[in-house]
Amino acid sequence: MANGDGFSAVERRVAGQTALGELSVAVGDLIREPRLAERSESPLAQGVRRLRRSKTAVLGAAIVLLLLLVAGFADVLAPQSPTDSDQTSTFQQPSRAHPLGTDQLGRDMLSRVIHGTRVALVVGVASVLLALFVGVPLGLIAGYYGGQLVDTAVMRVMDLILSFPVYLLAIILMVIFTPTAGVLGTVKVVGAIAIVRIPIYARIVRGSVLSIKEKEYIEACRALGQRDPRIMFGHVLPNCLAPIIVTTTLGIATSIIVEASLSFLGLGTQPPTPSWGWDLKANVAFIQATPWLSLFPGLAIFFTVLGFNLFGDGLRDALDPRLK
């Protein structure tokens, strides 16, 4: 039966169902389109997008960037020389002339904290890079030739180093190296911390390589006649970068704490080079009368480690393949 407009009830029902189906398809396309766009992105682009969505990671990155700027422009930002002493201005409270006060030698604490940022970052970054330079190839070789003599030899040495507590081993190494002032002393601190960190990267890389080397594309590379060094560095190592990057970021924070601890014990960076750990050691005896002398170097260590840890946690979440 047709209505006044010439369409029957059945035709109206069919037309309505067709329109509803087209609307559902359109809505489904709108929902799937962002997902398809996400899937078409490279793993790096996906990681950057997830990293930008993490508020804690952004905060950590901002702190790290600020620290890098302070370290890079320390000579410009510091109002005075961090090593010049003035016996007539000792133990001054924070003021306009000395925003963070002066220590027992009359040195400006703000200048020492600013220049201490450079020392902390240099030691933290350099020690981690040195540990990477040694630990990653060792872990790569041990994992790729897993179960063989080279794997056993490398990992037993790593286990021997790991059998010592981190701080105890660092102290022993610095006693052997004999702490000295200047650039040579900083190099010794970097070397001691790097030796402590090498087994960590070797074990992480080895664990990743043991699973990656069994993948089908690695078997295809072997079938094509590619040599082992090319397979290891051209195909296996790039797929291990995610845990290496995360461990490196978190390792910088740990290295900064170890350097501050060694300096606090008198075995790290030696005066007159500004160091947060040494300033804590030198001023802790006056903490009741002048608490700000120990407060500001401690806060500098706290915010530096916090920034790298937040950024490292964000990287870990962004690079986690289970979140892709």
Which pair of structure tokens corresponds to residue 218? 């690695």
pLDDT digits (tens, 9 = 90+) for 37-84: 445 566 556 667 777 787 888 899 999 999 999 999 999 999 998 988
Mapping DSSP to helix (H, G, I), strand (E, B) and coil, where does residue 4 land? coil
Range of the domain at 195: 46-323
Is residue 220 classed exposed, middle or buried when 0-12, 13-18 and 19+ CB atoms within 10 A define those classes?
A: exposed
Residue 31 has pLDDT above 50, yes or no: no
Would you state the torsion angle of the CA atoms of residues 162, 168, 170, 174, taken in this order, to the nearest 10 degrees? -140
Count of domains in the chain?
Answer: 2
* Same domain as 280, residue 245: yes
* Same domain as 201, residue 135: yes
What is residue 288's predicted lDDT score, i.e. its pLDDT?
86
* Same domain as 105, residue 26: no
pLDDT digits (tens, 9 = 90+) for 186-210: 999 999 999 999 999 999 999 888 8
* Same domain as 222, residue 196: yes
pTM (2 decimals)? 0.81
Spatial CA neighbour of 299 closest among 319, 323, 279: 279
Helix axes 292-319, 109-144, angle to 10 degrees: 30
* Same domain as 155, residue 91: yes
Side-chain-side CA neighbours of residue 113 (13 Å): 25
* Same domain as 226, residue 243: yes
